[in-house]
Amino acid sequence: MNNQNEFKPYIPAEKVTAEITVTSIIMGIILAVVFGAANAYLGLRVGMTVSASIPAAVIAMGVIRVLMRKNSILESNIVQTVGSAGESLAAGAIFTLPALFLWAAEGKMDKPGIVEITLIALIGGLLGVFFMVPLRNALIVKEHGVLPYPEGTACAEVLLAGEKGGANASTVFAGMGFAALFKFIIDGLKLVAGEISLSIKGYAGEIGTQIYPAVMSVGYICGARISSYMFAGGVLSWMVLIPLIVLFGADIILYPGDAPISEMYALGGASAIWSSYIRYIGAGALAAGGIISLIKSLPLIVKTFAGAMKSMSGTKGATGERTARDISMKVVLGSIAVLTLLVWLVPAIPVTLLGAVIVVVFGFFFATVSSRMVGLVGSSNNPVSGMAIATLLVSTLILKLTGSVGVVGMSSAIAIGSIICIVSAIAGDTSQDLKTGYLLGATPKKQQIGEVVGVIAAAFAIGGTLYLLDSAWGFGLEQLGAPQATLMKLIVEGVMEGNLPWALVFTGVFIAVMAEIVGIPVLPFAIGIYLPVQLNACIMVGGLIRLAVEKTKKKEEEKTAIVNDGILFCSGMIAGEGLIGIVLALLAVFGIDSVIDLSARLGIPAAVSNIGGLVLFGIIILTVLKFSVWKKRK
């Protein structure tokens, strides 16, 4: 086991090289906004986000080392530090804030203002960074060799493999370009179908697939195992639960539906049943999954928090050594105090003094937990949604007991939950970035400043992104299901008003419990129950491609290189489709989408559109293979 006294970083402490430069800050801000917007779009569609650290690191290396001819690994590190903050902030924001838009659509309140969204995102993000500063020595330095921080270590390896930076960066950019083209053909020009479904006569089930590159890329990045759990959840809801509801419901009007089930199915098909009933079952499963993951993590959480506090008590101020300098504790504590007052005093944020206290107490606790958890199990397995659910349950109960009820209480609960969710996501991202910097020999203070810059840039972009996506398609509908935010909305309503269809919710809860008993990971299975089966099937295709690549009879080194190239290409595809999604949303808002829509103008029959979709799906799969299995390597 390594000790911090034995460990020597790649760049020695006594050597000073460029880190925060105009180039690194500008590039980092661009990537923070790009990956933040792309992940917001992805998270609202599939309920999951992907890490941007490695793609950002690869792009940084490609631009700084290859195009600019600069050998500056710490400058590249600042780019990925700033850039990855956007993805994490977007993840925290889209899990909660769209609940306010959903209430506005129901006429319960006005839409949240862009200023409110920006301030909530900004305060949550900054608190996440500042809470992590005093934990760095305890978790990154003293626990070096104990906490692996998988993404942070992988990112350091990518940056160290600098001589490959150009080739790897071209793979990411190729993914962005191809996905942008495919997305524009499907949803812009509408030359082919974006979703193909098959139903069986006399049976109310439905199966099919979407053909979007970003959705398939999620499956490739997650792998066949996670993809299969999501697909199994989709099969359960669309091939078992929906047919049973139609069969037994028949001409009954079942709450929360407002028409006979047979009529709903005749008019809207399986999607109508999904919208009225399955979403509540999925929400129950998601809530149970989040709470189960939190309960399973409780021993580790308690141990983590106690250990971090004990380590912090022995932490002294920053030494003169460059690689040990943090932002001054006076600045950190002063900033936390100011941010707490802003939560309470700024009129745009609907939080009382009690709510501000809840934010600080829960925020610091979950920042500590999140930072340690990602060190052990990685960012992908960090139970952020479970922490948000726990926060919402407790804060909503407290608000209700203290007389803050109705619309005011609900918006306050979501604001508190949003800040905590963003704190947890950013604290986890910051700790991964600081691990990368620790291995490379970066200056912690400069990285922490980089995180602050990334948070500020992403916070100012997220409000406009949410408004744009809501104006174009609306949250909670098939295009942007917003599963996590819908769940948070249901939890707050359930506590405040007690008007949920509890029979459906508890059905989901016990399905999740059953899955846990038989050893199925609950969260991906629950997300699969909630989401359309066509989307899950597309994710499954990506997982199967990854499985096929991993099963090829090649040397282990070559196989690893193929898988990694595929991950980079798919990361680029997610970013590319997300960006074109934002562009298409802009066109929809301004009414230009109908001008470029060729499907109606050319009168393309549905059968031809479906065949075209399958052909395009085949081409998408071939491009993944071209830039992974068939890629020429030196």
User: Which of 180-194, 289-303, 329-343, 363-377 is least confident?
Assistant: 289-303
Quote the pLDDT of residue 70.
73
Pair 504, 255: CB distance under 8 Å: no
CA 484 to chain centre: 10
Query: Facing residues of 101 across strands?
Result: none
- With a cut of 80, say whether residue 389 has pLDDT above it: no
Other CB atoms within 10 Å distance of the CB of residue 331: 13
Half-sphere exposure of 147 (CA within 13 A, CB side): 35
Please write the tens of the pLDDT for every residue from 118-129: 999 999 999 999
If 0-12 CB within 10 Å is exposed, 13-18 middle and 19+ buried, where does residue 116 land? Answer: buried
Model pLDDT, residue 388: 78
| Residue 363 near residue 127, CB atoms below 8 Å | yes
What per-residue confidence (pLDDT) applies to 383?
A: 60
- What DSSP assignment string belongs to 197-210? EEEETTEEEEEEEE
Q: Which residues pair with 199 in a beta bridge?
A: 206
**pLDDT cut 90: percent of the chain above it:** 35
Higher local confidence (pLDDT), 270 or 142: 270
The H or E element spanning position 448 is: helix 444-472
What type of residue sits at position 586?
A: L
pLDDT for 342 equals: 94
* CA–CA distance, 56 with 42 (Å, rounded to integer): 17
Structure tokens at 619: 């081409």
Exposed, middle or buried: residue 370 (CB in 10 Å: 0-12, 13-18, 19+)? buried
pLDDT in tens, 492-535: 888 888 777 888 989 999 999 999 999 998 878 988 888 889 98
Q: How far apart are CA 405 and CA 78, in angstroms?
A: 44
Mean pLDDT confidence for 272-277: 86
Q: Quick one: the chain helix, strand, coil %, rounded to 5?
A: 75, 0, 25
Q: Which of 60, 76, 73 lies closest to 12 in space, CA to CA?
A: 73
Task: Report angle CA 488, 494, 497 to the nearest 5 degrees.
Answer: 125
Residues 6+ apart with CB under 8 A from 177: 572, 576
- pLDDT of 449 above 70: yes
Q: pLDDT (tens digit, 9 = 90+) per residue, 325-358?
A: 888 888 888 999 999 999 999 988 888 888 899 8
| DSSP track, 146-159 | T---HHHHHHHHHH
Instruction: Of 270, 28, 71, give the one whose Cα is nearest residue 160.
Output: 71
301 has pLDDT over 70 = no
Report the alpha-carbon distance of residue 80 to residue 66 in Å, rounded: 16
CB distance 46 to 233 below 8 Å:
no
Residues with Cβ within 8 Å of 43's Cβ and at least 6 positions away in sequence, in order, are 49, 90, 91, 94, 95, 484
pLDDT tens-digit series, residues 59-75:
877 777 767 777 678 99
Helix (H) or strand (E) holding 196: strand 195-200
The single residue listed with the structure tokens 């490609």 is 62
